[in-house]
Every structure is written in structure tokens, then in C-alpha cells.
Amino acid sequence: MDIFLQQLANGLTIGSMFALVALGYTMVYGVMRLINFAHGDMVAASAFVGLTIYTQVMGQAASLLAVIVIFLLTAVAMACVGIILERIAYRPLREAPRLSAVVSALGASLVIQNGIMLIWGPQMRIFPELVPQISWDLGGVVISLIQVIILVLSLVLMVALYLFVEKTRIGAAIRASSIDQDAARLMGINVNSIIALIFIIGSSLGAVGGLFIGLYYRGITFNMGWQYGLYAFVAAIIGGIGNIPGAMLGGMLLGLFNAFIAGYVSSTWSDAFTFILLIIILIVRPTGILGERVAEKV
């Protein structure tokens, strides 16, 4: 039972990181029908940007204020990168065949990933210990402060995003653009601004996810974006890509699944089990758990 509760806690932590990153994939996909392969590398980049802000700008201070500033600055920096990425790599290809945009996204992914390597070097870097290492032993289950912070902050961000998309006028514009861009344009919605906004939100959430990955796992490498990005992308697909609550659900499910596989089977098989789960879910529900059953019209 202890191992179950321990892996439940770990799984919720990992799952909330997956969910934050998955939201970036799913929001871009919802509006543009494009798999933003560069998103995972943006997540990796944000961990390195956070590291540099900590050492260069904040002078290695680790107070609460410093942590908040690091999170805000990283999110702003990655939002800018997201807008630039959309302008350069995706906007010119909106009317092009879909696979051209996919290859452009893969190219952007290579650029960012190898840009990180050229700037910060190919070796693993250690992320600073911004949060004091406090943990509580709750009858055999150890929960650390960082896990609590990750879980609570992720939930707050996800609820805020959900309310923003469902309850505000801009949120309605986002939903309208994802249903039909042309019709949205006819209703006076500036779809270009909506797409820019999507990239701002997705990249900032990804930045928070990247900083969490740095805080939780500590070791960060230039090519970790592929790995975490792929997992988050799988989470988005499991939940039904394009669906915002689906990404949150998929992230949590995948995190729990991974934690239980690591706890009960073996962590060397986690990739294989993750993708076997994905394939089974797609065979049973071809558009994910919360995905709508729509015919593809292209």
C-alpha cells in the first residue's frame, strides 16, 4: 500500500508537468491543426533560460521573490520566442499542404534544440536548488515541498486557463477560431492575434513546465525536449488533441501510469509501456478519451 500511495504522489507530480506541457501542444493543434514539434524543445530551452536568469540576473539568490521573478522572466522570454517561432516558421505555411508545416515544425525543433547545445554546451547542467529541500513523512509516504508546489501551482494554472477559455470573450474567440477559422474571421475575430495569443499562453505554460522539470529532476540536457515533449504530446493525444480539459486529464493519467510502471514493473520499460497504452487507447477510441468523433476533411 505504501508503494501505491508513494507512486500516486509521484505520478500526480509528473502528471501535472506533462499536463502543463501538453496544453501547449493541444492549444496550437486546436486552432492550427499543427503538431508543434518545437514545443518540447521550447520547454527544454526554458529550463536553461531559467538557469541563466538565476546565475546572471538574480546573482544566485534563492529567495521567494527571486523564484517568482525567475518564473515570470522565463515565461515572458519563452512567450517572445513562441511569437517569433510562429511568425517565421508557421505563418507562411498556413495555406500550404499540412505535411510542409509538420516538416517546418521539425526544422524549428532542430534549430531550438541545437541552439541550446551551441549556447549552453552539450553536457548535462544542474538546475539550482531554488526550493528548500523539505519533505514530510506521512506514514511511510514521503512528499516533498517541491512536489506540493508543482501540483498546486499546476492546478491553479490549469483552472485559470480553463476559466479563461470558457468564461471570457477572448476565450470564446479562441474556441471559435478552433472550430472554424474562416467563420471566426467573418465574425470579426482577428485570427492572427488569436494564434499569437495561443503561442503566448502555450509557451508560458511550457516555460513553467520546463522550470518544474529543472526543479524536480535537477539534471537538464539540451536534447531532453524530445523526451518530455513526446510524453506531453502523447498525453495530449490520449486526452483528445485540441481539447483543453483532455490535455489536463491525459497528462495526469500518463503521469500516474508512468509512476506505477516505474513502481511495479521497471523504469527501463516506461517508454514501451507508454506507447503501448497510447496505441491501445487509439485503437479503442481513435480520437482520444475526450476527443470529438469527427471525420477528417482535408
Partner 1 sequence: MKELQRFGYPIFFVVMAILPHLLNSRWQAVAITFLIFAVVALSQDIVLGKSGMFNMGQALFFGIGAYTTAILNSQFGWPILATIPLAILIPAVFGVLLAGPIVHLRGDYLLVTTIGFNIVFVQVVQNNLGGVTGGPNGIFGLDSLSFFGTDLISQVSVYYFAFAVLMLTLWIMRNLEGSKPGRALHYLREDQLAAESIGINTRIYKIFAFALGAGIAGLAGTVFVVQYSAVSPEAFNFIQSVLFFSIVIVGGSSVPGVLIGVFVMFVLPEIFREFATWRFFIFGFAMIAAMILRPRGIIPATFGKIPKFLIKESNHGA
Q: Is 242 left (phi over 0), alpha (psi -120 to 50) or beta?
A: left
Residue 116 or 198 having the CB closest to partner 1: 116
Segment interacting with partner 1, rule: CB under 8 A, options 43-51, 86-94, 171-179, 208-216 = 86-94
Binding residue (CB under 8 A) for partner 1 from 14, 232, 234, 262: 234
Q: Which residue lies nearer to partner 1 by CB, 188 or 286?
A: 286
CB of residue 241 to partner 1, shortest distance in Å: 7
Question: Does position 267 bind partner 1 by CB under 8 A?
Answer: no
Q: In the structure grid, which three cell numbers stand for residue 295, read together?
A: 471525420
Q: How many CB atoms lie within 10 A of CB 85?
A: 25
What is the Cα 163 distance to its own chain's centre? Answer: 18
Handedness of CA 224, 227, 230, 232 (dihedral sign): negative
Are 196 and 75 a contacting pair, CB within 8 Å? no
Interface with partner 1 includes 113 (CB under 8 A)? yes
What is the pattern of x (binds partner 1, CB under 8 A) and - over residues 237-266? x---x-------------------------
- Residue from 101, 189, 208, 261 in contact with partner 1 (CB under 8 A): 101
Interface pick for partner 1 out of 62, 149, 172, 282 (rule CB under 8 A): 282
Kindly state the smallest distance separating residue 252's Cβ from partner 1, in Å.
Answer: 19
Least distance in angstroms from the C-beta of 219 to partner 1: 19
Distances (CA, A) of 139 to 7, 33, 145: 14, 47, 16
Selected from 26, 46, 104, 147, the binder of partner 1 by CB under 8 A is: 104
Q: Residue 77: phi, psi to the nearest 5?
A: -60, -45
Using CB under 8 A, pick the residue from 99, 123, 182, 188 that binds partner 1: 99
289 near partner 1 (CB under 8 A): no
Nearer to partner 1, 196 or 271 (CB): 271
Look up cell 503538431; give the residue.
35
Task: Based on the shown chain and the rule CB under 8 A, indicate whether residue 287 belongs to the binding site for partner 1.
Answer: yes
Total residues binding partner 1 (CB under 8 A): 49
Element (H, E) at 143: strand 141-144
DSSP codes, 159-186: HHHHHHHHHSHHHHHHHHHHH-HHHHHH
Sites for partner 1 among residues 20-79 (CB under 8 A): 29, 35
Residues found near partner 1 in the complex (CB under 8 A): 29, 35, 88-89, 92-93, 95-104, 106-115, 117-118, 226, 230, 233-234, 237, 241, 268-269, 271-272, 274-276, 278-279, 282-283, 286-287, 296, 298
